[in-house]
A and B are shown apart, each in its own frame.
Chain A
Amino acid sequence: MSDERAPVTIDPSAPAAQPVVDDATGWTASVRRRVEKTLPITELLPTKQPAYIGSWVYVFGVVTIAALFWLVISGVVLAFFGSAWWHVSSVGHFFNSIHFWSVQMFFIFMVLHLWGQFWGAGWRDGRAKTWMVGVVIFSISVGTAFTGYVVQQNFDSQWIAINAKDAINSTGFGGLFNALNFGQMYGLHVMLFPIGVTLLVVLHIIQVRAKGVVRPIDDPFQVTP
């Protein structure tokens, strides 16, 4: 507006420029304001982080997510071609190997991430729920792996199923969750459990990004806990 090369014509009836204020009403507006307050896009996709994250311990979370990603991708390929494919196709067997080693990587890095968070007491300063969601993810992952083992359709599946049934039956859940029922275990493994794990991981990431990385224990400048 301070261009002095051309005369500026001001329309006196035009309204003055207003600062952007989200004063809309209604459910959508409330949710929108809540989301923007809890997790603005600059925090979801930050370009700065506290200097104290300069430790290799902090990479275990993201490599766990990476392992989960390849686990799901290889699982999608296996599901696409059907449960018998990998026994008769060498390409199929290779994708099963990717799935198998991704599972090992996933659990290795998830446990390392748990150790890192435990020794850093990552639940401090209002982050207890993040920790709790993490423990739930771990528990459901163990269940997901179990259903995966029993749908491999080989000797391992048979043996695991007939032994697990005794532990499951003892709890009274044997009628509801039948490890010997391939159809049930397969549906749980390729759909229900992965949806659960993925949703909880997304929640976990949102929690971390919303609150930020917890300050070091006994950090001098921190607000009194």
Chain B
Amino acid sequence: MKASKVDKQTYYRGVRMIPYDLLKEVTIAMVAVLGVVLILSAVLSSPDVPSVTLQTWSKANPIDFLTTASGELSGSTVVAGYGPPYNSGTGSVQSWGPLEPQQWAGVHVPIDAPNDFVLQPLTQATAGDAELAAALTAYQAAPSDQQQKWLTSYTTALGTATLASDGTVTVPSGDFGPVTVLMNRMLTLARSGGLDALLLTSDHFYQTDFSRALLFLDDGGYIADLATQQKLIGSDWGVMNETGRYPGSAWLWLYTMWYQIPPFNSSTGFLGISAANTDLAVVGVMLLLTALLFLVPFIPGLRDIPRWIPIHKLIWRRHYAEMRRTGATNTMQQ
């Protein structure tokens, strides 16, 4: 009769039972853990680095902000050409051999970068601003290759732009058409805090979805620079880390480890895994490892490791000593 099938009385035959107070143990555990948590909270507190806003970004690094804004308008940023779930681009689409779940899933969080990040907020801000309204009309009336010409010249000029002490940006002159006005207004709007609000609202009052504002931030260099200083970027095992001197998500060590080693971080790759589909590959590997952990009881070899490395002899050393002392033998007591 298998040990898994016998009733409890049979299973525990021959086992010495000791008095045990379950609720007392639970209470002691509750009090002890609370004590430790309260001490840590009182002494170390918890991290709370304030969020970045488009306002703080545009004030701290206006040239980076303008570079991103003009990139969004030209559709050349990462988000603009991302792919599903945001749009039909291909820049960030990952696949593994015939598996293309990202592509199959399709667009469900529609983001049209030039409109969502630039033209729509500016259109909403034209009240009392005839110059902006005229620039918008001129820009939208121009053919797309003219728009791209203006934007390319503007972006190139930004490379040698100067920053005044009052935060204004002086771009060397060139043929930028209405783009100059559009970008100046973007900067003013951002510095006033208005752009944060405009990227959040659409056509209704209550908002809880920060997708557009966060994607705009993601396309810029500012938030990534701050993250680099805190060692939160991927290549610094950032997934495990926390701001400041606090412990982070140490349990994610194995997840982030794969990102640090070939083929996951290499351009040449192996078995279809490379830097081009690192995320998908790592998720796949972790799903496989989790499945193996889940199935340990059924996997020969894996489930025998506790016998091969007998740490259990330490766990139950008093029990084994007692068995030896009382001369217990391996007789089946049915």
Contact = CB atoms under 8 A, between A and B. Distances in A.
A–B direct touch in complex (beta carbons closer than 8 A): yes
B328 A93 contact: no
A100 interface: yes
Given A55-B316, A65-B29, A70-B37, A174 B294 contact: no
A156 B217 CA distance: 13
Interface in A86-103: 86-87, 93-94, 96-102
A70 B312 contact: no
Contacts of B234: 163
B221 interface: no
B207 to A, nearest CB: 8
A119 B315 contact: yes
Contacts of B103: 172
Contacts of A102: 33, 37
B29 A66 contact: yes
Contacts of A171: 101-102, 280, 283
Interface in A165-179: 166-167, 169-176, 178
A120 B303 CA distance: 10
A155 interface: yes
Given A126-B5, A186-B208, A216 B12 contact: no
Contacts of B318: 52, 54-55
A66 B28 CA distance: 9
Contact of B306 (A45, A100, A107, A120): A120
Nearest to B251: A107
Contact of A96 (B12, B46, B312, B328): B46
Given A121-B306, A136-B294, A142-B252, A52 B17 contact: no
Interface stretch (A2-10, A127-135, A190-198): A127-135
A99 B47 CA distance: 12
B53 to A, nearest CB: 10
A169 B316 CA distance: 47
B239 to A, nearest CB: 8
Interface string A176-217: 101011111010000000000000000000000001100111
Interface stretch (B18-26, B140-148, B185-193): B18-26
Contacts of B252: 142
B26 A162 contact: no
A97 B40 contact: yes
A50 interface: yes
Given A105-B36, A178-B211, A223-B332, A154 B51 contact: yes
A119 B41 contact: no
A50 B214 contact: no
A125 B11 contact: yes
18 contacts: A51-B319, A52-B319, A62-B26, A62-B29, A66-B26, A66-B32, A98-B37, A119-B315, A126-B3, A127-B4, A139-B290, A154-B50, A159-B227, A162-B214, A166-B279, A169-B82, A169-B102, A220-B331
Given A46-B22, A47-B19, A66-B33, 4 more contacts: A51-B16, A62-B25, A119-B309, A211-B8
- Closest CB pairs A-B (n = 6): A175-B108, A126-B4, A183-B208, A172-B101, A221-B14, A172-B105
